[in-house]
Amino acid sequence: MGLFWHSCILLAIFLQVAIAASVPEQVHLAFHGDTSEMAVIWTTFYDGLHHVYYGTDVKNMNQVAIETSIKKWTSGSVTRYSHRAKMSNLKPSTTYYYKIEGRVFEFKTLSANPQSYRVCIFGDLGYEHGNSTDAIIRNGLNGQFDFIIHVGDIAYDLHTDDGRRGDAYMRRFEPLFSAIPYMVIAGNHENDGKNFSNFQERFWMPHNGFNDNHFYSFDLGPVHWVGLSSEFYGYDREYGKESIWTQYNWLNTDLKAAVSKRKSVPWIITYQHRPIYCSIDYNHDCSEFENTFLRSGALGLPGLEPSYIQSHVDLNFCGHQHAYERFYPVADRKYYTGKDVYHNAPAPTYILTGSAGCHTPAAKFSSEPLDWSAFRSDDYGYSLLHIANATHIHVQFISINQHEKPTDDFWISKDPNHLDAAMRSFKTGQIPRSKGTLSPILLKNNFSRNSD
Q: To the nearest whole angstrom, how small is the minimum distance from the Cβ of residue 287 to Fe ion?
A: 16
Task: Give the binding range for Fe ion (CB under 5 A) out of 55-63, 153-161, 192-200, 433-441.
Answer: 153-161
CB 388 within 8 Å of CB 359: no
Interface with Fe ion in residues 240-279 (CB under 5 A): none
Q: Pick from 301, 303, 320, 224: which is nearest to 270 by CA?
A: 224
Q: To the nearest whole angstrom, how small is the minimum distance from the Cβ of residue 122 to Fe ion?
A: 12
Ranges of H-type helices in 222-316: 231-234, 236-239, 242-260, 284-287, 289-295, 305-310
* C-alpha 183: how far from chain center: 4
Q: Which residue is nearest to Fe ion (CB)?
A: 320
- CA atoms of 390 and 219, how far apart (whole Å): 13
Q: Name the amino acid, one letter, at 142.
A: N
153 is a site residue for Fe ion (CB under 5 A): yes
Task: Give the binding range for Fe ion (CB under 5 A) out of 148-156, 323-331, 376-384, 425-433.
Answer: 148-156
Q: 176-215 mask for Fe ion (x: CB under 5 A)?
A: -----------xx---------------------------
Q: What is the DSSP string of 401-451?
A: TTTTEEEEEEEEE--GGGTTHHHHHHHHSPPPP-------S----------
E strand or H helix that includes residue 82: strand 78-87
Q: Which of residues 191 and 270 has its CB atom nearest to Fe ion in the complex?
A: 191
CB 28 within 8 Å of CB 182: yes
Query: Which residue among 262, 320, 322, 326 contacts Fe ion (CB under 5 A)?
Result: 320
- CA atoms of 57 and 48, how far apart (whole Å): 26
Q: 8-47 mask for Fe ion (x: CB under 5 A)?
A: ----------------------------------------
Q: Which of residues 266 and 275 has its CB atom nearest to Fe ion in the complex?
A: 275
Interface with Fe ion in residues 321-340 (CB under 5 A): none
Q: 274-313 mask for Fe ion (x: CB under 5 A)?
A: ----------------------------------------
- CA atoms of 408 and 405, how far apart (whole Å): 9
Q: Which of residues 199 and 267 has its CB atom nearest to Fe ion in the complex?
A: 199
Q: Which of residues 201 and 452 has its CB atom nearest to Fe ion in the complex?
A: 452
CB 61 within 8 Å of CB 99: yes
Interface with Fe ion in residues 89-118 (CB under 5 A): none
Q: To the nearest whole angstrom, how small is the minimum distance from the Cβ of residue 187 to Fe ion?
A: 4
- CA atoms of 377 and 154, how far apart (whole Å): 21
Q: Which of residues 174 and 452 has its CB atom nearest to Fe ion in the complex?
A: 452
- CA atoms of 93 and 109, how far apart (whole Å): 5
Q: Name the amino acid, one letter, at 439.
A: S
E strand or H helix that includes residue 87: strand 78-87
Q: 336-375 mask for Fe ion (x: CB under 5 A)?
A: ----------------------------------------
Residues in contact with Fe ion by the rule CB under 5 A:
153, 187-188, 320, 452
